[in-house]
Amino acid sequence: MNTVNLVGYITADFELRYTASGNPVANFGMALNRRYRQNDELKTETTFVDLVAFNKGVR
């Protein structure tokens, strides 16, 4: 099993729906910032990620 920890900002309210068997599914987006130094200059890069959480989520 792989584990990923994302630390960022949720970009909008999540969209909650249910499968035919009644399991909840949530769609939402996150903005992840990465700061790095390039030639004595501090830069920030933002990546937007679309996520889907289903069933019980984190166990």
41 — pLDDT class (breaks 50, 70, 90): very high
Question: Which structural domain, as residue segments, surrounds residue 27?
Answer: 9-54
Please, what is the Cα angle at 57 between 53 and 59, to 5 degrees?
A: 160
pTM of the model: 0.69
Residues constituting the chain: 59
Is residue 3, in this structure, part of any structural domain at all?
no
User: How large is the C-alpha radius of gyration of the chain?
Assistant: 16
Give percent of the chain with pLDDT exceeding 70. Answer: 93
Q: Is residue 24 domain-resident?
A: yes
Using the predicted structure, report yes or no on whether residue 58 has a pLDDT greater than 60: no
**Number of domains within the chain:** 1
Residue 4 lies in a domain: no
The answer as to whether 48 is a domain residue is yes
In this structure, is residue 59 part of a structural domain? no
Contacts of 41 (CB under 8 A, 6+ apart): none
